[in-house]
Amino acid sequence: MKKTNLFLNTFLGGLLKVFAFFKGQRIIKKCKIKGPAIVLGNHTSWYDFIYTLSAIYPRRVTFLAAKKFFHEGSTRIFMKIARAIPKSLMQADPVATMKLFRILKKNGIVGIFPEGQISPSGRTLPLNFAIAKLIKKAKVDVYVVKHYGAGLANPPWSKLSFRGRIETSKELIIRKEDLETMTLQQIFDQVTEKLYYSPSDNLEKKYKYKLKDIKNLENVLYQCPNCLYEGLEGHKHHLRCPKCNFTLTYDKYGMLNGKPIDEHFINQENNVRKLIDDNPHYELSGTCRLWSFRNDVLVEVGQGVLTIKDFKYIYKGTVDGSLKELNFDAKNVSSLPSDIGRNVQIYEGDIIYQFELDISWLPFKMLHMGEYLYYLSNQKINQ
């Protein structure tokens, strides 16, 4: 582990803390965090790294971050400044794990968002069981720094800030002494319980968030709840169905027609699952551009069609100027990380396959389908 730069840690960290305060962050539950330790956080906004850093300041924290961010011009400089650890998503990464343990041995603090991606709906995503194995092996104190309302103030589907209150709590959830007697399942259950969050929390708190244009939300919630038409249209503070004219209205509490976004999201997901239950051979396709790493940079490498069918992801098209077919087994792809309204991503070792789809809402229908196929295929394996 490199020697800490006191200027970056103290001065820039202090600036981030001030920035987070003016964004609306308030620490509502405090505890002293000391290393070596693992700090877990829920992930509902692009600012979660800043809010977590602010909550832990002046202690330094080193984050695990998606390897993709180290290869994109807009984010790689920030990853280097933060000295984050690159991590291959949705799979084991021995190199990242080795670096993590090296930091812990130096009494450092490591920050992890176990969901592996930002929750598009605000509700905590299912966690990978590997987090329990990592914690068990690390044998250090485990804390949760949990943010309430971050996804309402800075929704992941928008570049705009819906200014409002963000509450953060810090809590020691597992002492290193207790790890000796806890089973992996007990560790996993404790982490899952303590990290869980839903925007329905604001139904009770009634915190107000400044209304802004909700453009791009129609690519997360693409299906009309009234007639099931796919392709809702965003109009300032409304999502409207062009087929039946049903309207969902976004309000100052971050709700759509009085209900949290995650409730609408889960209903949409269940509709996709019903399609698959009714037709096991149901398939979904979309034209796309393929991006991957070349010379340490994420670039476009081909064009073609991505299809999901019979528990497979199949890409047919060009790769570096040659016609190719790529196949991925659904049982090995737990989720499809997505840049909302743009793409789905599949990770295989150190390689990323990023499919930029021409239909902007299709990534989330593919996400729903892929996660269900992963569940079904692994359910069969475990029976």
User: What is residue 57's three-state secondary structure?
Assistant: coil
Give the residue from 181, 205, 229 where a domain finishes.
205
Nearest to 352 by CA among 310, 303, 299: 299
Per-residue model confidence (pLDDT) at position 1: 42
Tokens describing residue 162: 């819906």
Q: Phi/psi class of residue 4: alpha, beta or left (left: φ > 0; alpha: ψ in -120 to 50)?
A: beta
DSSP 203-231: HHH---------TTGGGTS-B-TTT--B-
Whether residue 365 is contained in a domain is answered as yes
- Both 101 and 122 in one domain: the answer is yes
Cα distances from 198 to residues 14, 43, 54, 108, 152, in angstroms, run 30, 11, 22, 30, 11
Whether residue 211 is contained in a domain is answered as no
Whether residue 303 is contained in a domain is answered as yes
Give the residue from 205, 228, 262 where a domain finishes.
205
Q: What is the pLDDT along the chain (383 residues), one digit of tens a residue?
A: 444 455 666 777 788 899 999 999 999 999 999 989 999 999 999 999 999 999 999 988 999 887 777 776 667 667 766 678 888 777 778 888 999 999 999 999 999 999 989 999 999 999 999 999 999 999 999 999 999 999 999 999 999 999 999 999 999 999 999 999 999 999 999 999 999 999 999 999 999 999 999 999 999 999 999 999 999 999 999 999 999 999 999 999 999 999 999 999 999 999 999 999 999 999 999 999 999 998 888 899 999 999 999 999 999 999 999 999 999 999 999 999 999 999 999 998 778 999 999 999 999 999 999 999 999 998 755 54
Whole-structure pTM value: 0.90
- Both 32 and 102 in one domain: the answer is yes
Per-residue model confidence (pLDDT) at position 383: 47
Per-residue model confidence (pLDDT) at position 73: 62
- DSSP label at residue 176: G
- Both 186 and 330 in one domain: the answer is no
Per-residue model confidence (pLDDT) at position 8: 60
- Both 290 and 359 in one domain: the answer is yes
Tokens describing residue 31: 């505890």
Tokens describing residue 262: 């995650």
Give the residue from 235, 256, 275 where a domain finishes.
275
- Both 149 and 56 in one domain: the answer is yes
Please identify which residue in the block is written with the tokens 């832990």. 56
- Both 60 and 144 in one domain: the answer is yes
- Both 320 and 238 in one domain: the answer is no
- Both 301 and 322 in one domain: the answer is yes
371: domain CATH number is: 2.30.29.30
Whether residue 339 is contained in a domain is answered as yes
- Both 199 and 137 in one domain: the answer is yes
Q: How many domains does the chain have?
A: 3
Whether residue 210 is contained in a domain is answered as no
Per-residue model confidence (pLDDT) at position 381: 56
Per-residue model confidence (pLDDT) at position 382: 52
- Both 33 and 110 in one domain: the answer is yes
What span, in angstroms and rounded, lies between the C-alpha atoms of 76 and 95? Answer: 19
What span, in angstroms and rounded, lies between the C-alpha atoms of 327 and 312? Answer: 7
* Residue 36: cis peptide before it, omega within 30 degrees of 0: yes
What span, in angstroms and rounded, lies between the C-alpha atoms of 119 and 209? Answer: 19
User: What is residue 110's three-state secondary structure?
Assistant: strand
Whether residue 31 is contained in a domain is answered as yes
Per-residue model confidence (pLDDT) at position 3: 47
- Both 269 and 339 in one domain: the answer is no
- Both 112 and 199 in one domain: the answer is yes
Q: Which domain holds residue 242?
A: 217-275
Residue 164 one-letter amino acid: G
Whether residue 1 is contained in a domain is answered as no
Per-residue model confidence (pLDDT) at position 94: 87
